[in-house]
Structures are given as structure tokens and as C-alpha cells.
Amino acid sequence: MARRTGRSPAKCLPERCRGDVKTFSSVRLGCPKNIIDSEVMEALLEERGWVLQSSSDYVDAILVNTCAFIDEAKEEAVDAILHAVEMKKQGRCGRVIVAGCLVQRYGPELVRELPEVDLFVGTDEVGRIARHVASLENEAGNAPRLAAEPPRFLMTAKHPRNTAGVGSSAYIKIAEGCSNHCSYCVIPALRGPFRSRPVEDILEEAEDLARNGVLELILVAQETTCYGSDQPDRPDLTRLLEEFAAIEKIRWLRVLYTHPRRLDEELFSVMASEKKICPYLDVPLQHIDDDILRAMNRRCDSRRIRRVLEQARESIPGVALRTSLIVGFPGEDRSRFRMLLDFVREIRFDHLGVFRYSREESTAAASMEKQVGKRTAESRRNIIMSEQARISGEINQARRGSVYDVLLEEPSDIPGYTHVGRTPFQAPEIDGVTYVDAPGASTGTIIRCVITDADTYDLFGSALSPEEQGAGMSETEMRHD
């Protein structure tokens, strides 16, 4: 499900006091890949003299970067746009600019339905946002306009990013687009075909992030395991991880959005041997029934899925497995759903998310027979999430007494715990967190902690003594011994 993060529409000085300063606020919606696009657009506007505001009475513009992957994401995007439009009507902002996937998908319709919006820009316009805004300022009239070319944009290390507030962990986009054409998915239409960034370009950005205090790099793309397949020298994810591991200041490396058909023993071997790579595998599977997988065009069967998960656990000691599933896909009858539920019980994923199938127009699945009702799909989602809560709670309870490295990210508001952090098997925003009692410790550092308690999704612990911090090995390090 899409989420809203970062800065929300806000206020600045009253117009009479602003002088020549141009201010804007930013609404970030969607996945980490989309958040990076927001960071790039914000930084490009700042280079042109715009000032990003976090709280104010007035801004010259509101930038809303949208997601349009599933129904819930589209609804959230429309709500955010309408909120910005209302602020404009109230005289709290000068212009409304809407960007991203919703525009790429429904641009002409949005122009007709939302005349209050001043500018619509699609996913191909991320690198040209400042030019479009400047053109908007220089032209008379209030008619909304649309810039949404076929998606070809691919960021580079030369594109600035507004990483203020990122802290010690940052996403890095290694590729853009997707060529898989899963039958339920609109991403190829919104983001274009898969295209990788050169290794040297990604490393340049990673080095810059490291110089600015980032300790954890999280590699993202529509499919990270497809990395390099479109380039002449065919560099792969394994090579990229080895290059990242050589960056001295980076302590943790994490990979999201892998595909089971491209995971192999070579990648697992590097993940197991390189201390900086978190023992964490995010592999969205979507389903386990072979008929459903074929209908989804996943190009991977249940036998391959089970073998990949088995290999990961055999090769990477202590690996945490995360997946995402889709329930209510056309043709998912009771027996196929039961197979999926039994699979969840069998594998016992550390982390798991479930999406209710969203019937998206222009996708192959939208016209399939045996569509499943939303109420049935929602019930199935709740059943799996309830089962996963039980499994997650049991896994967390078994971690009591263990010692792990924890990246401290912010102060805690829970009595008895000074910090909120994450272990190597907890990715930001999608997994649980670890509350730590570590008086005197600084945020943005990694310390050793012993887990003293646990609930369904979160852990609780205490920092080891200064003497113990430097003695022995944490469980994260022991897996490489």
C-alpha cells in the first residue's frame, strides 16, 4: 500500500513578507523508488532558488508526487491532490503541481477533472521539473498543462537528491522500469522498460551518501535481481554488492525487490560471506499455486520458489525472509487459497505483507474470468495476516536473549527505552523496530544490544556495557565466522 512520508503541505511567511523567496512544500507518496524521485525533484527546485518549507502559513507551490499502482494508492493520491487544491482555494498556496505515476497513467483525464491544478508532469519529467515550473511561472493564464512523455528517465549520480532528514539509512535506485509484464501490474506502462544504471554511476552516488554519514544502503529497483541484464558487459547484482562492500564507511547493505527466478547460489554465497550484507532476503512471491503463478505471468513455479527459499536458508545462516503475496487473484478458489495459507505456515516468513488483488484496467488480469469479490479477498487477506502475526510473534520470542547489532535511528517515546532502532533483519518502514535502552548512546550509530523482550512485530533490548561492546561477536557477525 502506498504511504505518505516526508513533508506535507505546509505554511510559510505571509505573502506580503516573502519578498522574492519562492517557497514550496512536498507531498511524497508511494514506494521507496518514488520517494527517491521526490528527493530529486525537490533538490532540482532548490537549485533553481526554491525553498522547501516544512511548516508555514503560505507556500508558492505544493508538489504532490503520486503513486498509481493499486486502488488504495490511487485513492490516497487523489485525496492528497484535493487537499492541495483546497489549500489553494483558501489562499494558502499559489500553485499546485502534480507529478508521478498517477499523471503518467491518467494525465488527460486529470487535466479535465482538476482544472485547479496548474501543472501535471509524468514520470519521464523528473529530471526536467525545474524547467517545467519555470515555464509555468513565465506564461500567463491558469489553464492546467500536461507533460507526460513515454517514460525513459533514468536518474544518475549527477542528479541531486534532497536527503535532508534521511539519517543513517538511504535508498539507492540501481535501475528503473520493468519488462516482466506480470498480468496484474501496470508498472511497465508507468515506468517504461527495465534499464540499469552503470556500476560506476551507482558507486559514485553511494560514495557521496557515505561521505554524508549514511551507514546503511538499501538497493531498490522494480526488480533488483534483473540488474545489469540490459547492459553490454552484463554486470549483475552480485558484482554490484561486492563493489558496494568495498566502500569503507558503509556498514550495512540491504537488497529489496528480488525475483525468485533470478536468485542463485552465487548471490547467496556473496551474501553469506560479506559481513556488510544484511542476512535479509526480500523476495515478493505473490502466490504459490502453479495455475495462479502462470496466470500472473510470474515465470516461476512453486518448485522453484521452494528450492530458492531452501537454498537461501542453507547458504545464509540466520537469514530473515520477507515476502509479499496477492490474495483474491482471478481463479483463486478456496483450495488455492488454502494452499497459499498452508505455504505461509510451512515457510514461516520473518516478515510478510499481503495485498488484496486490485483489478487494474489495461492489464491482462482485468479481463480474466472468475474474478474474486473484494469482500472475499479482504477476508483472505485478514486470515493470512492473522496467521503471520502468530508466526512473527513466535519468531520474535525466540530472539530473546540473543545479541544483535542495532542501528539507532531516533529517540524513543516509550518509557524505559531511550532509542528506536533496527537490527539487520528489520528493513525500515516495512518491518518492525527494536526499542533499546542505551543511555548516552547517539542516534546514527550501531551498537550491540541484548534482546530482553518481544511482541508481535517489535523487539526490546538493552545496550551491552562499554566493555562488552568491543568484546566477542554479535550474532550478525557470528554467521560469517
Burial 47-60 (b: 16+ CB within 10 A, else e): eeebebbeebebbb
Amino acid 57: pLDDT: 86
Considering the domain architecture, whether residues 363 and 222 belong to the same structural domain is answered as: yes
Considering the domain architecture, whether residues 288 and 431 belong to the same structural domain is answered as: no
Amino acid 10: pLDDT: 35
**What does the DSSP assignment read for 25-65?**
EEEEESSHHHHHHHHHHHHHHHHTTEEE-SS-S-EEEEEEE
Asked, for residue 89, whether it belongs to a domain, the answer is yes
Considering the domain architecture, whether residues 212 and 343 belong to the same structural domain is answered as: yes
Residue pair 111/103 in contact by the 8 Å Cβ criterion: no
Asked, for residue 253, whether it belongs to a domain, the answer is yes
Domain end call among 352, 380, 397: 397
C-alpha to C-alpha distance for 420 and 438, rounded to whole angstroms: 10
Considering the domain architecture, whether residues 95 and 178 belong to the same structural domain is answered as: no
Asked, for residue 94, whether it belongs to a domain, the answer is yes
> Beta strands 446-454 and 169-173: pairing type?
unpaired
Considering only the C-alpha atoms of the chain, give the largest distance between any 2 of them, rounded to a whole number of Å: 69
Burial tier of 71 (Cβ tally within 10 Å: 0-12, 13-18, 19+): middle
Asked, for residue 97, whether it belongs to a domain, the answer is yes
Considering the domain architecture, whether residues 386 and 285 belong to the same structural domain is answered as: yes
Amino acid 143: pLDDT: 59
pTM, whole model, 2 decimals? 0.91
Domain end call among 397, 412, 444: 397
- In the predicted model, residues of the chain with pLDDT beneath 70 are 1-19, 139-144, 470-481
Q: Establish how many alpha carbons lie within 13 A of residue 461's alpha carbon, considering only the half-sphere containing its beta carbon.
A: 28
Residue span of the structural domain in which 461 resides: 403-478
Considering the domain architecture, whether residues 366 and 474 belong to the same structural domain is answered as: no
Considering the domain architecture, whether residues 220 and 311 belong to the same structural domain is answered as: yes
C-alpha to C-alpha distance for 52 and 61, rounded to whole angstroms: 10
Residue pair 244/253 in contact by the 8 Å Cβ criterion: yes
Instruction: Give the domain CATH number at 450.
Output: 2.40.50.140
Structural domains in the chain (count):
3
State pLDDT tens for residues 139-196.
665 656 999 999 999 999 999 999 887 789 999 999 999 999 999 999 999 999 999 9
Considering the domain architecture, whether residues 393 and 416 belong to the same structural domain is answered as: no
* Cβ contacts of 336 within 8 Å, gap of 6 or more: 287, 289, 291, 292
C-alpha to C-alpha distance for 421 and 460, rounded to whole angstroms: 10
Q: Which three cell numbers, joined as nine digits, stand for 239?
A: 558484482
CA-nearest of 166, 136, 165, 134 to 47 is 134
C-alpha to C-alpha distance for 259 and 299, rounded to whole angstroms: 10
Amino acid 19: pLDDT: 52
Considering the domain architecture, whether residues 142 and 189 belong to the same structural domain is answered as: no
C-alpha to C-alpha distance for 136 and 134, rounded to whole angstroms: 5
Asked, for residue 44, whether it belongs to a domain, the answer is yes
Considering the domain architecture, whether residues 39 and 143 belong to the same structural domain is answered as: yes
Domain end call among 350, 372, 397: 397
Asked, for residue 155, whether it belongs to a domain, the answer is no
Considering the domain architecture, whether residues 316 and 429 belong to the same structural domain is answered as: no
Asked, for residue 80, whether it belongs to a domain, the answer is yes
Considering the domain architecture, whether residues 278 and 138 belong to the same structural domain is answered as: no
Asked, for residue 297, whether it belongs to a domain, the answer is yes
Residue 290: what residue type?
D
What SS3 class is residue 336? Answer: helix
Amino acid 50: pLDDT: 96
Instruction: Give the domain CATH number at 266.
Output: 3.80.30.20
Instruction: Give the domain CATH number at 74.
Output: 3.40.50.12160
State pLDDT tens for residues 375-432.
999 999 999 999 999 999 999 999 999 999 999 999 999 999 999 999 999 999 999 9
Residue pair 451/397 in contact by the 8 Å Cβ criterion: no
